[in-house]
Structure 1
Amino acid sequence: MSTPKAIIHVISHTHWDREWYMPYEAHHAKLIQTMDGLLEIMDQDPEFLSFYLDGQTIVLEDYLQVYPEKREKLIELVQAGKLSAGPWYILQDEFLTSSEANIRNMQIGHRDAKAYGPVSKLGYFPDSFGNMGQAAQILQQAGISTAVFGRGVKATGFNNSVSEALDLESPYSELHWESPDGSRVLGILFANWYNNGMEIPEEPAAARKFWDNAIANASKYASTPHLLLMNGCDHQPAQANLSAALRTARELYPDYEFIHSNYDDYVAAVQSALPETLSTINGELRGQRTDGWYSLVNTASSRVYIKQLNQENQTMLEKIAEPLAAFAHVNGRPYPHGLLNYAWKTLMQNHPHDSICGCSVDEVYHEMKTRFEKSKGVAAAVIADSLAHLSAQIDTASFASISSDSAPFVVYSTSGYAQSGVVTVELELGRRYFKPNESPMNNSKYVLEHTTAEGYLVNYLGEKLACTSVDLGVRFGYDLPDDKFRQPYFARVITVTFETGALPAMGYSSFAWIPAAQSAVAQPSSLVAEENTMENAYLHVTVAGDGSLTIKDKRTGETFDGLGVYENVGDIGNEYIFKQPDGDTAITTRGLAAQVTLVEDTAYRATYEITHTFDIPEQADERLKQEIATMVNFLDRKAQRSEKRVPITIVTRVSLSRSEEGVRVHAAFHNPAKDQRLRVLFPSGVTTAKHYADSIFEVAERATIPTEEWVNPSNCQHQSAFVDVHENGRGLTIANKGLNEYEVLRDGSGTIAVTILRSTGELGDWGVFLTPDAQCLGPNHAEWMILPHGGGDSRFTAYQQAYGFQVPMQVSQTGVHEGSLPAQQSLLEWSAAGSGLALSSVKINEDRGDLIARWYNLSGEPAELTVSSQSHGRLYESTVLEDANAAGAGDLGTDGSAAVPVQGYKIISIGMSAR
């Protein structure tokens, strides 16, 4: 038998956007119809061999939500290889979800898939808007050796000629994809997209036309005789007559082999026939060798409020709830696996790319806000229970020697780094419970008469601390005991604001409010150096007349001028893509007189409030409405900004605390305008050709100047916690909370521009879908931190502070009691020889109950990680799937401590078994 010219692998699938141009339930109803039709085809057609469920288990979960009685049928099909399960829970946007969210997505996807049968071991990224640089390492640790993706690389070549494309990313749809640590997977690009085999004709004449085109296009980039035809598209039902269509193809093209294939068979066939000349691409796949218009990076600034809610939710789960629950578990409390799994799933239902990217219809975001609140509510309950359990075991008895009425509380720092910060705690004094037959008014009066709001603050050593207290009066509260009915009470409530002093990494420290007549406390000098100026041991900060900041780094002598100017321009693009009107000139606050007021001057912090009011165009002119309605491509739009202007007022609070090495900034404004973008500018004075941005398990090095192919005037990029520029002893890191878009301008000043608002009125893409809520009218806010540094290894200290900026300290009031835990302690001690290690997560493994902690090396240089836990014996290297042992790795230590070498850019997970 002669060898066929090519083997055509037809893989049936549907790309399932859970919500997008319709609300979730409309898509859900469509999913039920699609799955019903698929199951019917599989029952009736023995030649219809398999269907790929888009790499996400939530498709099965959503189907069973309506038809739970069909679970056994789905299990039967998955075990028979006719349906796929996993490897993900949902198809996320990789850059807009955190490092740990990407891992939880893989973990939950694998766990849920195993309940049906074999897990699909394919790194499936069909429509991610760019791909993370550490994907190959994550996949390899999960036992996955092949990734399939649709964006980020433009395959280029002529007749598969490698020699003519050596300077390009890849001449083929097949390539080696390598992470910075050297981990490598086979990458397969949908060079003809994931719908190149949809709706295959059965009728011979139409079939010949279809196949002539499809085979030619697939052959153009394939490096092997195995050609991939994806039979499906977005929300595409299974093709009922596919078997007949393939029979027609076999009759028309006897020299080709047509297979109704699956990914396992297709990948195995490709791997067996790969040439030796494949290109290797290292790191991120972000479409940088394109014209720059369709990288879709501006989804990072669509509906900024959604990104802020997501950052808050992720942080609550992975940086607060999980580690606190883990430490409570180590100290005797059951770990709430079920609750945390539910909270993660609810959060991740907001992580599909069209959801978290902000590029769906308005109804989607109404539901997303509800999901965020649900997930955050569960996280808050886990945090409160864990804090109460831990605090009850901390020895606070020493405070009794100061006063029998002491009100102890514990401050927890779970960012992973030793830090000091300013916190505000609400304390209840004189709690008095009452019964239904008692007068609430009398009980309230009793508390008021028998308590005082006066007092002073001490730390666990008994040292008095400078603080500010506010009496909030008597307030109702209640307990929900484990063993009795709810217990209502009244208590006097005060707030106490102070600076904690150094807290241990992943640890806590105890404090107490001592009710008493006001007692003098030694007050450190004010941080206000002179008018409109603040200063601590690290920084000298001056607020200029236009509200911009001049910051001198006292450690390096470097000065940064003009920081924090606001910039406003028009935007006639859509939720996917920013497009400034032709000839549009930016409106800025540079040189605009601002109102500057000192609003806080305490021993621990100084804050200036800066108020800007300026006029901006109310919206785009009427032409934009017409262009949207008639689907004029955004590149061809001629709309301008309207002549009518409206005032916008931005109130910015700039704070410097005594012990922090950065300046905290909070901006609040009421957005009155449409079709616009608002950014804040930070001239760094660093003009290097590269910069650095926090991404998924790495600080990615990126080019400031785009490639020759890039014609988009804008070169915006993704960030997670921060963006950084540095060179020759001068560096500037800008940290953020949920501000995922930045640009380093090519202006000669190395200006970092961070987007804090983008207002658009349409979804974009394939139809006319108006999105008035995406204009983000009304109240908005943004938070960032300015961190000067000296470049070199000092940047890693700034990065740690940027990570800590996103993680608020937690406070828990407790009683005066003895306990098994000391008044101050690190619950997980770790250190690094070499400054580039970052702590990612601390949690409890669901299968074994072991503590799992994960770090990653931000540097290309090797480091040594030292870990110590008093509650654990055996330490072992694990993986992102939390295997008991990584391949080839044995015990790291059996006495609760270990020193572990960590190669450059490596992600390392360490399991710890209880003693």
Structure 2
Amino acid sequence: MTNKKTAHIISHTHWDREWYMPYEYHHLLLIELMDKLLDTLDQDPEYRYFHLDGQTIIREDYLQVRPEQRERLDHYIREGRIHFGPWYVLQDEFLTSGEANLRNLLIGQMDAKPFGIISKTGYFPDSFGNMGQAPQILQQAGITNAIFGRGVKPTGFNNTVSEMDTYESPYSEMIWRSPDGSEVLGVLFANWYCNGMEVPADPEAAKAYWDKNLADAEKFASTSHLLFMNGCDHQPIQTDLSQAIQTASGLYPDVEFVHSNFDQYLKALEDNLPANLVTIEGELRSQHTDGWGTLVNTASSRVYLKQMNQAGQTLLEKVAEPLAAFAELAGLQAYPHHLLTYAWKTLMQNHPHDSICGCSVDEVHREMVTRFAKSSQMAEAIAAQSVAALAEAIDVVGVEAWGPESVPFTVFNTSGWSRSGTVTVELITAKKYFPEGPTPQSLARELGQAPLGALQVMDEEGKVYSAKLEDLGVHFGYELPKDRFRQPYMARKVRVTFPATDVAALGYRTYALVANAPDAAEAGLDTVQVQGNTMENAKLSVTVADNGTVTVTDKVSGAVYVGLNAYENTGDIGNEYVYRQPEGSDALTTEGLQAEISLIEQSPSRVVIETVLQWEVPASADETFLEEKREMVPFTERRAKRSAQMVPLVLTTRYTLEAGSGMLQVRTSFNNHAKDQRLRALFPTGLAADHHYADSIFEVARRSNKPAAEWVNPSNAQHQQVFVSVADGVNGLAIANKGLNEYEVLLDGKNTIAVTLLRSSSELGDWGVFETPEAQCLGAQTVEYAIIPYTGDGAVSGAYAQAYQYQIPWTVVQTQGPAARIAAVNGRQHAGGVTLPVSGQWLSWNSDASPLAFSTLKFAEETGDLVARWYNLGAEPAELKVQPSFEVEAVYESDVLERRVSKLGTDEQQAEGHKIITQVYQLEK
């Protein structure tokens, strides 16, 4: 270090939109802060910069109440005195999907672009751990740095260690590398993002303040440029900062005190970095700590939020966006960028770390439920309009096998892989509009008395599929035409459940409900048989044991997995952030219980076996826990036990095996009466391995089963997105989930995968006493997950693709029957004359035995290009060969911001190991 030091003082406020107070309470304080900031910028030219916490939503929130301040605020953003972006919100990276992380960055960049200045600071000040692919994502967005507050433990010059490990750095500055090799300069808030807050202007106080804070910063800094963050959580701005800087400059002539910004600070760093910076790789999850401060148990706090988030994310990125893209490609309707952005923004307002992590007061999370519903309703409406336009354009007239009275319907596969599975759809076999009868009641009676006849499901080749048909009777419905008033009707409905097979990736297949086709040939598909408590298809054999667990045999490899899906219950005297089991208490399990077992559904395409377990668990923690919370006893020092009072916990589990499937689906329901507890499902793999794989953000992360030597927390719970798997190099077992983001691989000699189904806590935790009774999650609960055995590589074998598809719902819609279709064609009423084949596909790629995972299909707003994205799950290069079925002017390699980077000369592109690959297609006009 040179003798001359520079103290970079960066003014900011870390703005949690909602946390220990409801949103509007924080909102009021934000309005006051922004008013004061604008006044200070007006009045004090020495108050040069303010960092707006890396999130553009602050501008939206402020102008919602103060629209008259738009010109004044925007002036300072354009001038560069207020630093704006690059994110829309400061999200939790591990609890939001890969695409949600990218939409957050993309929408933040779009919000900032009109101002001509977009912050290029990769800002993660308070993320509860950092995703391993962040450097690659940032580099693709043109950001060469990452500023973060957690995940790495620095040692500092006065606390050096004898052996350097890949997750430790002697400095607050380091190189951070993604699995693909992308690197950024990483800067850790080693003294947190408040080490320059409330700088004294009084000389005596300033001397004591700077003596300590300068020494603390120098302990970790690799250069003479020292970072001081002038602000903290919801911190009002310091209006006398200019005077305080003058005071400090007079006291320390060998230090240059600068009211700085991240651009200036990072430039100074880059010009002075030493050659011995440590390179840290991949995920930053604080694994080289004692394990109590990782905050990973926020992945299981308020599980219902995670379930709603998973459903909402999937609905947007894997259903609404691809269906809207299909409709645009077919020339049926314009891609609704504005509606999708609104839906994404509404969803992302639930993605800040204190929101999606479930670690706020109850009022915050009640409002989140409404936001989830609003976003999903918009996504559902977009999907419904898109699919209605597509269905109207599908030409079913030429299918001779169906006949004029058939009821066609189309199954859409919006996943990136060919798909088979059991689907259910409600079809209208006859309907009458209100003007067709004297009353709705008379129409209902007329429709209800008409015989349905013998109905069968048939494909376009005339082959019949075994189907379960349920007469639902007569129901009210309505249509909302674009050119006239609503059209109410009464309709006779039938629910159809059947096996859809080989529906093309990013495509569709049309079937029909046909009457009186006795001579039609059977499709000859795999079926599910059941004998006693054993169900079996061509790939799996599943036996339900007396205690409700299952033995799953992989018929391809012969591997047998015994005792899967026992339940474990333990006490929890932690909080919304951290799980802590009471000392001396043992885990309870259902292994010794007797289950009630019954056959719920049996058809050639699907068998469902139900188990019911009558269990009792402690009602709560004991009275000591109440005292310890009131007195703010740290959770690691609590001595509370579990209550002696017991309450019932009745677990109803449905095991579903479908024809042709290599996956056993599990749905467990219960009414929770217990507090201060954790409930997990256990899957002893019996596979010898010292590591496992967890689906994360654009990667399947390889993680050690055994924590680092520094780890003392008895729990080693971790984050997952879609699945976790253990493999021994020959066989593997993956557990997929829907919104269950926490798991642990137990060091029990069996490498048991434990998936958290519920965690009940009663306080926020952190810096005060905040009661959160609704975090106990009392009442009815339902969780869904799946068991997937496989052989070889999880990606290449298709096991991971099954897991990804498990989260994506089928989209099934009734099309117009031939008679109605002919009338529509003759009347030129359908889709402007556009005609689609009975079955089709918009984009195909070499998905078989590929290590690539498909991520998204959408349109870019700025260029109008079609966007498709994949990522390589493996370390070795892989070929990507794409065949669009639409006319393309040119194909470009793109980036996470959907820009054209370089033109591709062929339909093949090499995906380097762990690379995120985005292609954009310039369509012919």
1:189: Cα distance to partner? 0.2
Question: Is the Cα contact below 8 Å between 2:462 and 2:520 reproduced in 1?
Answer: no
Query: Which residue is 1:890 aligned to?
Result: 903
Query: Which residue is 2:815 aligned to?
Result: 814
1:162: Cα distance to partner? 8.8
1:301 corresponds to 2:300? yes
C-alpha distance in 1 between matches for 2:209 and 2:171: 22
Query: Which residue is 1:439 aligned to?
Result: 439
C-alpha distance in 2 between matches for 1:835 and 1:891: 21
Query: Which residue is 1:686 aligned to?
Result: 687
1:687: Cα distance to partner? 2.9
C-alpha distance in 1 between matches for 2:610 and 2:444: 37
Query: Which residue is 2:490 aligned to?
Result: 490
Query: Which residue is 1:77 aligned to?
Result: 76
C-alpha distance in 2 between matches for 1:335 and 1:116: 26
1:339 corresponds to 2:352? no
Deviations 1:447-479 (A, max 9, x none): 223452641111121211100111111111000
1:839 corresponds to 2:854? yes
Structure 2 counterpart of 1:213, one-letter code: K
Question: Is the Cα contact below 8 Å between 1:430 and 1:450 reproduced in 2?
Answer: no
Question: Is the Cα contact below 8 Å between 1:472 and 1:493 reproduced in 2?
Answer: yes
Query: Which residue is 2:109 aligned to?
Result: 110
1:879 corresponds to 2:895? yes
The 3-state SS of whatever aligns with 2:393 is: coil
Question: Is the Cα contact below 8 Å between 1:4 and 1:257 reproduced in 2?
Answer: no
Question: Is the Cα contact below 8 Å between 1:451 and 1:492 reproduced in 2?
Answer: no
Query: Which residue is 2:209 aligned to?
Result: 210
Matches within 5 A, 1:365-380: 365-380=365-380
The 3-state SS of whatever aligns with 1:502 is: strand
Question: Is the Cα contact below 8 Å between 1:616 and 1:647 reproduced in 2?
Answer: yes
Structure 1 counterpart of 2:376, one-letter code: K
Matches within 5 A, 1:619-630: 619-630=620-631
Question: Is the Cα contact below 8 Å between 2:526 and 2:659 reproduced in 1?
Answer: no
Deviations 1:352-376 (A, max 9, x none): 0000000000001111010011000
Call closer, same or farther: CA 1:620–1:736 in 2, change over 3 Å: same
Structure 2 counterpart of 1:478, one-letter code: Y
TM-score scaled to structure 2, two decimals?
A: 0.96
Query: Which residue is 1:745 aligned to?
Result: 746
Query: Which residue is 2:830 aligned to?
Result: none
Structure 1 counterpart of 2:673, one-letter code: P
1:401: Cα distance to partner? 4.8
Query: Which residue is 2:318 aligned to?
Result: 319
Structure 1 counterpart of 2:843, one-letter code: L
Query: Which residue is 1:44 aligned to?
Result: 43
Call closer, same or farther: CA 1:453–1:632 in 2, change over 3 Å: farther
TM-score scaled to structure 1, two decimals?
A: 0.97
Call closer, same or farther: CA 1:592–1:521 in 2, change over 3 Å: farther
Query: Which residue is 1:255 aligned to?
Result: 254
Structure 1 counterpart of 2:84, one-letter code: A
Deviations 1:776-807 (A, max 9, x none): 00010111110001133666511000000000
Question: Is the Cα contact below 8 Å between 1:617 and 1:643 reproduced in 2?
Answer: yes
Query: Which residue is 2:469 aligned to?
Result: 469
Question: Is the Cα contact below 8 Å between 1:307 and 1:356 reproduced in 2?
Answer: yes
Structure 2 counterpart of 1:344, one-letter code: W
Matches within 5 A, 1:466-865: 466-516=466-516, 527-792=528-793, 796-815=797-816, 816=818, 817=821, 820-832=835-847, 835-865=850-880
Query: Which residue is 2:225 aligned to?
Result: 226
C-alpha distance in 2 between matches for 1:517 and 1:857: 47
C-alpha distance in 2 between matches for 1:433 and 1:516: 27
Question: Is the Cα contact below 8 Å between 1:556 and 1:729 reproduced in 2?
Answer: no
1:833: Cα distance to partner? 7.6
Instruction: Point out the more displaced range, 393-402 or 645-654.
Output: 393-402
1:574: Cα distance to partner? 0.2
Query: Which residue is 1:169 aligned to?
Result: 168
Question: Is the Cα contact below 8 Å between 1:162 and 1:277 reproduced in 2?
Answer: no
Call closer, same or farther: CA 1:834–1:798 in 2, change over 3 Å: closer
Question: Is the Cα contact below 8 Å between 2:564 and 2:683 reproduced in 1?
Answer: yes
C-alpha distance in 2 between matches for 1:594 and 1:392: 49
Question: Is the Cα contact below 8 Å between 2:295 and 2:577 reproduced in 1?
Answer: yes
The 3-state SS of whatever aligns with 1:650 is: strand
1:166: Cα distance to partner? 6.2
Question: Is the Cα contact below 8 Å between 1:832 and 1:864 reproduced in 2?
Answer: no
Structure 2 counterpart of 1:883, one-letter code: R
C-alpha distance in 2 between matches for 1:517 and 1:398: 17
1:591: Cα distance to partner? 2.3
C-alpha distance in 2 between matches for 1:519 and 1:624: 71
Question: Is the Cα contact below 8 Å between 2:795 and 2:851 reproduced in 1?
Answer: no
C-alpha distance in 1 between matches for 2:751 and 2:162: 37
1:155 corresponds to 2:171? no
Instruction: Point out the more displaced range, 176-185 or 76-85.
Output: 76-85
C-alpha distance in 1 between matches for 2:426 and 2:265: 61
Query: Which residue is 2:271 aligned to?
Result: 272
Deviations 1:878-911 (A, max 9, x none): 1000112x2xx22344xxxx01111100001100
Question: Is the Cα contact below 8 Å between 2:417 and 2:847 reproduced in 1?
Answer: no
C-alpha distance in 2 between matches for 1:734 and 1:167: 29
RMSD of aligned residue pairs (Cα, Å)? 1.7
Instruction: Point out the more displaced range, 792-801 or 155-164.
Output: 155-164
The 3-state SS of whatever aligns with 1:309 is: helix
Instruction: Point out the more displaced range, 232-241 or 402-411.
Output: 402-411
Call closer, same or farther: CA 1:799–1:526 in 2, change over 3 Å: closer
Query: Which residue is 1:870 aligned to?
Result: 885
Structure 2 counterpart of 1:912, one-letter code: Y
Structure 1 counterpart of 2:539, one-letter code: Y
The 3-state SS of whatever aligns with 2:510 is: strand
1:5: Cα distance to partner? 2.7
Call closer, same or farther: CA 1:427–1:123 in 2, change over 3 Å: same
The 3-state SS of whatever aligns with 1:389 is: helix
C-alpha distance in 1 between matches for 2:4 and 2:605: 76
Q: 1:904 aligns with which of 889, 913, 917?
A: 913
Deviations 1:248-295 (A, max 9, x none): 101111111000000000000000000000000110000000000010
C-alpha distance in 2 between matches for 1:801 and 1:101: 21
Structure 1 counterpart of 2:56, one-letter code: T
Question: Is the Cα contact below 8 Å between 1:876 and 1:912 reproduced in 2?
Answer: yes
1:79: Cα distance to partner? 1.4
Q: How many residues align?
A: 907
The 3-state SS of whatever aligns with 1:435 is: helix
Call closer, same or farther: CA 1:852–1:9 in 2, change over 3 Å: same
C-alpha distance in 1 between matches for 2:791 and 2:216: 52
C-alpha distance in 1 between matches for 2:507 and 2:79: 49
**Unaligned ranges ≥5, structure 1:** none
1:506: Cα distance to partner? 1.1
Question: Is the Cα contact below 8 Å between 1:833 and 1:865 reproduced in 2?
Answer: no
C-alpha distance in 1 between matches for 2:518 and 2:162: 82
C-alpha distance in 2 between matches for 1:852 and 1:350: 25
Question: Is the Cα contact below 8 Å between 1:399 and 1:408 reproduced in 2?
Answer: no
1:500: Cα distance to partner? 0.5
Deviations 1:384-441 (A, max 9, x none): 1111111122221144653321111000011111110111100012111123994111
C-alpha distance in 1 between matches for 2:795 and 2:558: 14
Matches within 5 A, 1:50-61: 50-61=49-60
Question: Is the Cα contact below 8 Å between 1:745 and 1:752 reproduced in 2?
Answer: yes
Question: Is the Cα contact below 8 Å between 1:447 and 1:474 reproduced in 2?
Answer: yes
Identity %: 54
C-alpha distance in 1 between matches for 2:590 and 2:147: 46
Structure 2 counterpart of 1:808, one-letter code: P
Structure 2 counterpart of 1:862, one-letter code: P
C-alpha distance in 1 between matches for 2:518 and 2:614: 42
The 3-state SS of whatever aligns with 1:540 is: strand
Question: Is the Cα contact below 8 Å between 1:618 and 1:642 reproduced in 2?
Answer: yes
1:113: Cα distance to partner? 0.9
Question: Is the Cα contact below 8 Å between 2:410 and 2:510 reproduced in 1?
Answer: yes
Matches within 5 A, 1:345-364: 345-364=345-364
Deviations 1:484-534 (A, max 9, x none): 010011110110001101111111100111245989986978633421001
C-alpha distance in 2 between matches for 1:453 and 1:370: 44
Query: Which residue is 2:63 aligned to?
Result: 64
